[in-house]
Homo-oligomer: A and B are copies of this chain.
Amino acid sequence: MSGPGAKRGRPPAFDRTTALAAATRLFWEHGYEATSIGELTRAMGIKPGSLYAAFGDKKSLFKEVVHTYGRSPAGAFVGAALEEEPTARGAFRRILREAAAVYPDPSHPAGCLTISAATNVTVQDAEVAAFLRDLRNANLAAFEARLKTAQQQGELSAAANPGALASYFAAVIQGMSQRARDGATTTELTETAELALAAWP
């Protein structure tokens, strides 16, 4: 008797989700190139052969890590605020305050994986750096789009500059991630967030 979901062959000896979470922690903490396959297999509790069979090569594993990170609470709060908050000002206030709470949270590595995991790469891994940079610049574009909408709806004055504001908030958020990795606390980053909001026109 076999259920409809029964798989043939030997079943995997590890849980794919928890293994991916272990890989996420390592990439988050040390970045793409500074995390070796040996460290990954040890943390994930599997051998190289199993890793390559389940996730493909190192780049594929990293991209899957980034993808799931972007759907996790620590990675999705920006998009959620942009979608859920009725006003642009409310959205950026929430983004900055949540960043101040999330980035130094000791339950995971400090800062934002997308911001800091591929800063230093060799030439042959330039593709990985470009992958994260495109994600960051897509976020910047989403900021600008939200601010332009606010301007059209009258929330933001016609004299305001949506592109400049978007670039400013992006810089502040990326800086907050860096500061969290340098040891800044939630209290400190909350003060930064409130000061940053003072620039709202």
Which residues of chain A have a CB within 8 Å of any CB of chain B? 30-34, 36, 115-123, 125, 133, 136-137, 161, 163-165, 167-168, 170-176, 178-179, 181-184, 188-189, 191-192, 195-196, 198-199
Contact = CB atoms under 8 A, between A and B. Distances in A.
A191 to B, nearest CB: 4
Contacts of A175: 170-176, 178
- Complex copy number for this chain: 2
B31 A120 contact: yes
A42 B161 CA distance: 46
Please report whether the interface of chain A is mostly helix, strand, loop or mixed according to DSSP: helix
Nearest to A161: B191
A188 B170 CA distance: 12
A186 to B, nearest CB: 12
